[in-house]
């Protein structure tokens, strides 16, 4: 039996690691990294830097796994993601089979926390169900928590629900009815522009916890342009930007 540790590593800063994550990193023999051949590979470099900062030159290896291409031409989004997950699963498991001795421990570093919009656990699901691998998860600090801390706010109001969604869904469906607090991730198109700004406050953060951290908050109608400008500026300087935001709607009095 081989063990795979899926370790949440926060936003790439060693100070975001929990002690449990540090212990897990030090126990890994081989780290497996899906390489996309794009700007996202800068995050792969950050993961390597993190390991050398925490473990030093210990007795561990990095094995890169070429990430299979995803069909972005289709409108059948869910099916395309399912096919892509299956392809990634095969490649990852084959690579692990080739590089991991029985009894050794594999590590996969998940950005933030693996519980939020991270495919690692889905990709490993096949192995989990066939019983070939023992899987352990170490939680990390998510961009969601970084956002709340940067703005010094609680994401939940007394007795109220919080919804976490994607930019794509926000653009298609707007703020879900009955939910007045929505965290939006994976939004390459600034979907907040399509939301009726009346009574909506936004708490926005980009590169949270990183060297380019930027935050803006205010009435959506008043600060949307400032967010667009700030986002565009980071993107043009670095080539990419990751941002997360909370939309908080006034709750009508009954
Ligand atoms: C694939 S998801 C991974 C989320 C990650 N598992 C987490 O817990 O934060 C990528 C999305 O996370 C958010 N994100 C990741 N890193 C971020 C950062 N440093 N600052 C702001 N948002 C970030 C963005 O919404 C981005 O589109």
**Closest CA to ligand 1's atom 10:** 186
Distance from the CA of 117 to the center of ligand 1, in angstroms? 8
Phi and psi of 154, rounded to 5°? -95, 145
- Asked whether the whole model's pTM tops 0.85, one would answer yes
Could you tell me the domains of the chain? 2-138 (3.40.1010.10), 143-249 (3.30.950.10)
Distance from the CA of 98 to the center of ligand 1, in angstroms? 31
pLDDT tens for each residue of 81-112: 888 888 888 888 889 889 988 889 999 999 99
Phi and psi of 156, rounded to 5°? -110, 140
Lowest mean pLDDT of 90-99, 148-157, 166-175, 189-198, name the range. 90-99
Distance from the CA of 187 to the center of ligand 1, in angstroms? 10
Minimum-distance ligand 1 atom for the alpha carbon of 116: 6
201 in Cβ contact with 1 (< 8 Å): no
**Closest CA to ligand 1's atom 26:** 186
Distance from the CA of 143 to the center of ligand 1, in angstroms? 5
- DSSP string covering 218-249: EEHHHHHHHHHHHHHHHHHHHS---EEEEEEE
- DSSP string covering 157-208: -TT---EEEEHHHHHHH-SPTT--EEEEES-TT-GGGGS--TTEEEEEEEST
- Note the pLDDT of residue 181: 97
- Is pLDDT of 58 > 80? no
Q: How confident is the model at residue 229 (pLDDT cuts 50, 70, 90)?
A: very high
- Is pLDDT of 43 > 90? no
Q: What's the rounded Cα separation, in Å, for the pair 39 and 88?
A: 19
- Note the pLDDT of residue 127: 67
**Closest CA to ligand 1's atom 2:** 117
Lowest mean pLDDT of 37-51, 93-107, 122-136, name the range. 37-51
Minimum-distance ligand 1 atom for the alpha carbon of 184: 25
9 in Cβ contact with 21 (< 8 Å): yes
pLDDT above 70 as % of the chain: 94
- Is pLDDT of 155 > 80? yes
**Closest CA to ligand 1's atom 11:** 186
Distance from the CA of 121 to the center of ligand 1, in angstroms? 16
What tokens does 210 get? 């990183």
Q: Residues near ligand 1 with C-beta < 6 Å? A: 11, 111-113, 116-118, 142-143, 185-186, 205-210, 242-244
Q: What's the rounded Cα separation, in Å, for the pair 213 and 227?
A: 13
Q: How confident is the model at residue 248 (pLDDT cuts 50, 70, 90)?
A: very high
pLDDT tens for each residue of 201-223: 999 999 999 988 999 999 999 99
């Amino acid at each position: 039996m081989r063990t795979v540790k899926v370790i949440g590593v926060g936003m790439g800063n060693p100070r975001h690691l929990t002690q449990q994550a540090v212990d897990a990193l030090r126990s890994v023999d081989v780290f497996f990294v899906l390489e996309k051949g794009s700007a996202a590979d800068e995050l792969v470099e950050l993961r390597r830097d993190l390991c050398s900062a925490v473990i030093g030159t210990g007795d561990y290896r990095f094995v890169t796994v070429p990430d299979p291409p995803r069909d972005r031409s289709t409108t059948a989004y869910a099916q395309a993601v399912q096919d892509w997950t299956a392809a990634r699963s095969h490649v990852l498991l084959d690579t692990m089979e080739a590089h991991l001795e029985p009894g050794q421990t594999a590590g996969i570093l998940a950005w933030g926390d693996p519980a939020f919009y991270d495919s690692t656990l889905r990709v490993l699901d096949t192995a989990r169900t066939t019983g070939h691998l023992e899987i352990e998860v170490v939680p990390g600090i998510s961009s969601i928590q970084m956002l709340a801390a940067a703005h010094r706010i609680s994401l939940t109001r007394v007795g109220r629900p919080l919804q976490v969604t994607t930019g794509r869904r926000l653009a298609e469906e707007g703020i879900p009815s009955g939910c007045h607090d929505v965290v939006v991730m994976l939004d390459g198109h600034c979907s907040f522009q399509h939301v009726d700004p009346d009574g909506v406050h936004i708490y926005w953060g980009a590169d949270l916890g990183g060297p380019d951290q930027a935050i803006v908050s205010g009435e959506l109608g008043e600060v949307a342009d400032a967010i667009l400008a700030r986002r565009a500026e980071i993107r043009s300087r670095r080539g990419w930007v990751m941002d997360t935001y909370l939309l908080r709607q006034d709750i009508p009095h009954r």
